[in-house]
Structure 1
C-alpha cells in the first residue's frame, strides 16, 4: 500500500512540475514601452537622451529601427542588443521654435541569434518616441 501511495504521489509531483515549469513560459516575455521625455532645446550632438524601457527573455535580443521620424534624422538609437539608448543625432533639429516636439515611430524587433551569426525575427512592436523641448532664453 505504501508503494502505491508513493507511486501516486511521485506521479502527481512530476505532473505538477512539468505543468508549472514549461520551458516556453519565458519566451512570451517581450515588453517594450513608449518613450517620452522633456529636455532643454539645443542639446549637444551625440548626447544621450534616455533609454527605452523593455523586458525580454534573456535568451533573446532587441533590435531597434527608426521608422518614421517627424524631423528627419533628429535622433539615433544605439542598436547594440539590449541597449535602446536614444541619442541626439542632428542637434540643429532640437530647436523649440522650429520643432517643439520631436516624435518618431520606432519598431522594436525581438530576435534570436543563430549559430551562423544571422538573426531570426520572432516578434516586433512599434512604439512612439516623444521628445518635448523646453524653450530657453536666447
Structure 2
C-alpha cells in the first residue's frame, strides 16, 4: 500500500474514531503533499512523500523550541503529539549508536580524519540515513567524532 493510500485509510479511521488531532495532522500532511505536487507538476512517489513527512517533522521540532521559549506547554504537548503521529509513517529511526557506527565506517572507508572534511563525510553519510535519522543529530555526532 502506498503512502497516499495509507494516509487516506488512516484519515478515514481517525474520522470514524473522532480523533481530531490525528485527522487534522493527516489532513495537513495530505495538503503539503498536494501542494508539492502542484508546485512540481508531478505526482509524488513514496520517497518524495517521505521527504514531505520528514520536512513536516523537522518544522514541528523547531516549533517546539519556540513554544518552550514562550512558555507555551499546551502547544509543546500538541506538537509532540503531532510528531508522534507523523513518525509512524517514517521508517524506524536509527539510534545514536547506529548512526555513530555508520559514520565510523564512512570515515574509515574514505580516510576522513579532520573536521575540515565534514562536508565530504556528511555527503557520504546522509544518503545512508535518509528518512531514518534527523540531519542535525547526524551532524552533531559526526562533529563529535571528528573532534575526538
Instruction: Say whether the fold is shared (TM-score over 0.5).
Output: no
**TM norm structure 2:** 0.27
Structure with more relative contact order (C-alpha pairs < 8 Å, separation 6 or more): 1
**TM norm structure 1:** 0.28
**Structure holding more strand per residue:** 1
